[in-house]
Structure 1
């Protein structure tokens, strides 16, 4: 952790002197003489900026990098402190164990309270961020699902991971259930969901507690928010996964269910989801996972569709309200409600 300098909470505080000191404390000796910043991305919890850097001489570091930091009012930053800790921990302590494509991290710091942090990350250049409102193609979703195998497989059923990051228990269930119904009411007031989406929220409130603590056959580290807004697509179709704020342990198919149910149109999902799940299954088996059948993988996919409305309801409460955010959450819930109605036994009719 950086102890000697204050951690910025606005892009204007990312001065040449601060950046030079910060990078120096993280093992980089280049001296920055000038910096310009441009906002990038559509993050709901933190600000991201492309920094263009001038150095005093030949430099080991690149001319551009992405700065991610906690912005907004103190109350908003306090609300997000847990996810800020998650992302810094992932890049600083966990990332090296996984093969999922991600940006290189040049420097990371977070305050003791978790309300201030800065990450300096690799600028992926020509890659383009996915658009959650538009969604993605089936081919893009398949590429992301295959890439996710590089996150899930390396620590599949790893008892050391579960010791570091235990699965939720009854205390977490009680806390979630105490918050979920009021947050669902807030969501309805803010977004006015249609009948099918509202039925999905009812289903979430009713089912989430049991789902959260249900015994798991298999566990992994999961991204927790794997959707196209959190993926960069390169010019040749390569993918890079970003925004590691919601990492946790759980069933790996939570990520795949969330990805497909929120990022594909219902028509594309219905046509391609079985093939994409099969491609994902081949990828984790190739990466070393054993004793896991395709039928089990599909059952896990269907059994974790609840991930989408859960993240949508909680995420909308945590995010700073924006016009784009409203459109995004509405599109995500509408798509995921269709998936639940299609695939969960009994659907949403009459629920």
Structure 2
């Protein structure tokens, strides 16, 4: 569990003080004092909010950052509850706690680009948190409605292999409620959750009975328990929401983006990240044109990092199965967070892309290949 601070950290930009910022920077080794700052809202998070803090500094430390990012729990009862309970599994951390623990314990162990953390705090009941993070600048925030350039797409896949490879197939620490692989009981619980989410989604989206969407939803619910557990498949640390919105693309010529929003980090089948990104987060025509080359980049980097027993064809299988991660998100956010116009636009866009992905890859058949849970 997270060790809670003796006193709460600021939980919005309005609560931040120059003394707190100075303390954070000095504890990170910077000989500097913050004398003032300005804040502006950034990002499109539906569970967490973020502000960029522009600092006025007094000191001679040339390495000190002049801007930082404050991330904290978003207002709204549905979003706050979702952040606290996470996936809803007893004994597992919620989304807010997952992200705090990722930056505290796991960020240094992976080969993906992530922001540096200067401070982290979570409330005792885990419904509020704060992170003080490196501001990746200059960079262009990713946008689900605008596909990255081909060189950036390959950087995305290089990052993804760098996330998966270090903990590939464990061993995972016994008794760690974040890094323990999913259990059969959790698969059965997930099936009950996703069934309720899908029914809500059918109503909210006026899904026509017997339509392609309706058939896909029904098949997924029937096999959701086995998909969540994916018994017999490789396991690794996954992002859990690996998509363009959760990436920052540096404008200094670097091709690898910086991956943010680690609230859904968990140990699971690595195909979930592959499928969530390629199956839903980029336009269908872009996926069709670049999919094979992107999988080769991913597989090549896995091999470089020591994963020797997973073929390129295995990665294709991972993608077929993992594409349902996109359907998981599409049906879940409509019920779990306080939706806005952009959220509904995301849902409809993802759904269109996913239906094409499932058809192109015969993903429904991949569900049938999973063993039923006993």
TM-score, normalization by structure 2: 0.85
- Equivalent residue, structure 2, for 1:142: 154
Judging changes above 3 Å, is the alpha-carbon distance between structure 1 residues 156 and 320 closer, same or farther for their aligned structure 2 residues? same
Structure 1: state its 5+ residue gaps: none
- Equivalent residue, structure 2, for 1:5: 7
Q: 2:104 aligns with which of 88, 92, 99?
A: 92
Q: Which structure 2 residues correspond to residues 52-91 of structure 1 after superposition, within 5 A?
A: 52-59=54-61, 61-73=64-76, 76-81=79-84, 82-91=94-103
Judging changes above 3 Å, is the alpha-carbon distance between structure 1 residues 188 and 217 closer, same or farther for their aligned structure 2 residues? closer
Question: Pairwise CA RMSD of aligned residues?
Answer: 2.4
- Equivalent residue, structure 1, for 2:240: 224
Q: How many residues align?
A: 348
Contact 1:130 1:232 (8 Å CA) reproduced:
yes
Structure 2: state its 5+ residue gaps: 85-93, 367-374
Judging changes above 3 Å, is the alpha-carbon distance between structure 1 residues 22 and 115 closer, same or farther for their aligned structure 2 residues? farther
Judging changes above 3 Å, is the alpha-carbon distance between structure 1 residues 192 and 24 closer, same or farther for their aligned structure 2 residues? farther
Deviations 1:28-76 (A, max 9, x none): 6643221210111111111111101123433563110111011214563
1:329 Cα shift?
A: 1.8
Instruction: Please state if 1:171 is matched with 2:185.
Output: yes
2: CA distance, partners of 1:5 / 1:24: 19
1: CA distance, partners of 2:193 / 2:272: 21
Judging changes above 3 Å, is the alpha-carbon distance between structure 1 residues 210 and 160 closer, same or farther for their aligned structure 2 residues? closer
1:242 Cα shift?
A: 0.8
Judging changes above 3 Å, is the alpha-carbon distance between structure 1 residues 317 and 266 closer, same or farther for their aligned structure 2 residues? same
1:275 Cα shift?
A: 2.0
1: CA distance, partners of 2:227 / 2:167: 22
Q: 2:199 aligns with which of 185, 189, 196?
A: 185
1: CA distance, partners of 2:130 / 2:351: 31
- Equivalent residue, structure 2, for 1:209: 225
Contact 2:278 2:291 (8 Å CA) reproduced:
yes
2: CA distance, partners of 1:312 / 1:86: 21
- Equivalent residue, structure 1, for 2:265: 247
Contact 1:80 1:318 (8 Å CA) reproduced:
no
1: CA distance, partners of 2:125 / 2:328: 26
2: CA distance, partners of 1:162 / 1:283: 28
Contact 1:196 1:334 (8 Å CA) reproduced:
no
Contact 2:8 2:121 (8 Å CA) reproduced:
no
Deviations 1:127-172 (A, max 9, x none): 1111112343444333201211111111111213576322222221
